[in-house]
Amino acid sequence: MINMTFGSIQRLKVSDNQRFLAKEDGTPFFWLGDTAWELFHRLNKEEVMIYLNNRAERGFNVVQAVALAELDGLTVGNAYGKTPLLKNARGEYDPTLPDLPVDGSYGYWDHVDFIVDKAEELGIYIGLLPTWGDKFNLGWGTGPVIFNEFNARQYGMWIADRYKNKNNIIWILGGDRILTERVHFAVIHSMAEGIREVVGRDHLMTFHPNGMKSSSLHVHDENWLDFNMIQSGHHMINNANYEMVTKDYELKPIKPTLDGEPCYEENPINFKAANGYFDAKDVRQAAYRAVFSGAFGHTYGHHCVWSMIKEPDDYFHLHWEEAIARPAAGQMCYIRKLMESRPYFVRVPDPKLISANYEGVNHIEASRGEDYALAYSSNGLPLHMKMGIISGSSIKAHWYDPRTGESHYIGEFVNEGNRSFIPPSRGRNDDWIIMLDDASKGYAVP
C-alpha cells in the first residue's frame, strides 16, 4: 500500500504539445484510473469512503463511474432505494425528468454529489459517464433505451449544470458502445454539445467505446473530443494494446490517448471462466506497454470492483471489499511513480531504442525523453538496447521492478553502440523495466 500526495484539485487541460494532460498551473497529470462503473448505484456512504480511501492510498487519481448505471441503473434503486429518473406521462423513464426529491430526503443525485465531493477531498477526479450505452443503443445490457437526439442535449445540459463548478469532473460519453447507426452518433453529439454549452472548455471530454475499439474510430475529429480513450478489452490474453495506442498516437490532429479499459484483474478471459482469468501480470503488461507506446496514463480495473459485487457467485467470485486489495491494484502506483520521476512532457515512444526486438508476447515497448530511456520486458527476456540515442557520454542503468516498485543498480556504461541487459529473473511473472539515464543529470531512482 502506497500513500501518495495529490495536493489541491485543479482543473485539467491538454498539454501544449497535445500529447498529455496537465493541471491548470501547467504541472503534469499522469492519469492513474480505477474502474468503478457501479459506484453511484451500489455503495452507501460508508462503503464509498472505504472504497475512495483505499484508492487514494494506492495512488489512483481518477475513478470512472456511471450516473445512469449499467446494471439495471434505471429500474433498481441505489443503496438507499433511490432511482435517478422519473417517468413521463407515457410511463417511460425520462432523462429530462431527474428525480429530485422536494421533501428534503436524500435522493439519488444527492448521493452522486456526496461521492463527487468526497473524491475531490481525496484528490481524485471523477471520470463521469452521464449514462451507460444501453440507454441509447441497447445491443446488449438491460436498457431501456431512453435517449434520442433531443432529450440527450437537454440531459447533457442539466447534468453539466449540476457539476459545472466542480474541478474534479472529466466527462466520458458513450459507455461501451460504438456508433453503428446515425441515431447513435446524433445522441452522443447532442449530449456533448449540451455539456459544452454549459461548461465550455472548463472540463475535459472523451468517449468510451466498446471492446477492441478506440474513440478515434468515430469521433476523433469532433471538436468536443479532447483526448481518445481505448477499450483494449477482455477478449484475449496477451492483447497487443500497444498497437492501438500507436495508431491513435499517429493520427492527425494530434490528441492524447490512453487505454481506458484494458483487461481487468480476475476477469474471465473472453468472459468465460473455462478460459481462465486475467492476473496481475496481465494487468501490469497492459499498463506498461500502453504507456511506453505513447499513452498519457492508464486505467486499471477489477472484475468484482467495477460491478461492486456484494454477493459473490461463480462469475463474480469476490466481494468488492476483498477485491480492492488484489495484487495489481497495489502495483499500479509504481507506473505512476516511474513516469513522474523523469522529465514529463518531452517523453516519446521510440522503437529505435530496441536494436533487436521480439514478436508477440515478448515484444518490447520503449519510451524516452532527451536524457533518459525506459523499456519493458514482459517475461524477463534480455533487452537489446541501442545506445547513443539519449544524451550523455555515459549512462547509468537500473532495473525497476513493477511488482514492488524497487530499483536495482546495474552500472555505468559508455553511451555508444549496442548493449544487451539481462533482467534479474525470467518467467511469466518476471517482467522488468530497464531505466537508462544520462549520468550527468543525477536523476534519483523512483
pLDDT, position 318: 98
Q: Please give the distance of CA 295 from its chain centroid, rounded to a whole number.
A: 10
65 bridge partner residues: 128
Integer Cα distance of 373 and 421 in angstroms: 13
In this prediction, what percent of the chain has a pLDDT beyond 90? 97
Other Cβ atoms closer than 10 A to 422: 14
Amino acid at 342: R
Sheet bearing 21-23, strands edge to edge = 12-14, 21-23, 28-29
282 — pLDDT class (breaks 50, 70, 90): very high
| CA–CA distance, 311 with 190 (Å, rounded to integer) | 38
CA gap 295, 303 in Å, rounded: 23
- Kindly tell me if the per-residue pLDDT of 220 is higher than 80: yes
Between helix 280-292 and helix 241-249 the angle, nearest 10°, is 20
ω into 101 cis (within 30 of 0):
no
pLDDT digits (tens, 9 = 90+) for 64-75: 999 999 999 999
Beta-sheet pairing, 432-438 with 372-377: antiparallel
* Distance between CA atoms of residues 320 and 426, nearest Å: 33
Residue count of the chain, please give it: 446
* Mean pLDDT taken over the chain: 97
The residue-averaged pLDDT of 346-352 equals: 98
The DSSP code sequence of 149-166 is HHHHHHHHHHHHHHHTT-
Give the C-alpha separation, 42 to 307, whole Å: 8
Residues contacting residue 422 through CB under 8 Å, at least 6 positions apart:
382
Closest CA to 93 of 111, 120, 81, 75: 75
10 Å Cβ neighbour count for 295? Answer: 31
Taking CA atoms, 194 is separated from 23, 53, 168, 198, 209, in Å, by 24, 33, 19, 7, 20
Instruction: Please state, in angstroms and rounded to a whole number, the distance separating the CA atoms of residues 150 and 69.
Output: 21
pLDDT of 35 above 90: yes
| C-alpha cell recorded at residue 104 | 428534503
- Summarised one tens digit per residue, pLDDT across range 314-336 is 999 999 999 999 999 999 999 99
pLDDT at residue 7 in the model: 52
Tens of pLDDT along 167-188?
Answer: 999 999 999 999 989 999 999 9
CB neighbours of residue 272 within 10 Å = 9
* Amino acid making up residue 111: H
C-alpha 230, offset from chain centre: 9
Percent pLDDT > 70 in the chain is 98
CB distance 343 to 371 below 8 Å = yes
pLDDT above 70 for 340: yes
Q: Please give the Cα distance from 163 to 160 (Å, whole number).
A: 5
Query: Quick one: pLDDT at residue 180?
Result: 84
> Which whole number is the average pLDDT over 8-34?
97
* Phi, psi of 89, rounded to the nearest 5 degrees: -65, -20
Whether residue 1 has pLDDT greater than 60: no
Average pLDDT of the residues in 234-258? 98
Task: At 191, list the grid cell.
Answer: 449530449
399 phi and psi, to 5 degrees?
-95, 140
Between the alpha carbon of residue 296 and those of residues 214, 257, 314, the distances in Å are 15, 6, 36
What pLDDT was estimated at residue 339?
Answer: 98
Which tens digit of pLDDT belongs to each residue from 99-157? 999 999 999 999 999 999 999 999 999 999 999 999 999 988 999 999 999 999 999 99
- Which three-class secondary structure state does DSSP give residue 64? strand
pLDDT of residue 3: 44
Distance CA 438, CA 446 (A): 16
Q: Where does the pLDDT of residue 2 fall: very low under 50, low under 70, confident under 90, or very high at 90 and above?
A: very low
Q: Which residues contact 133 (CB under 8 A, 6 or more apart)?
A: 139, 141, 174, 175, 176, 177, 210
Q: What whole-number distance in Å separates Cα of residue 134 and Cα of residue 181?
A: 14
Region 5-25: what's the mean pLDDT? 90
pTM of the model: 0.98
Task: Cite the beta strand spans of 341-392 per DSSP E.
Answer: 348-349, 365-368, 372-377, 383-386
Q: Which amino acid is at 361?
A: V
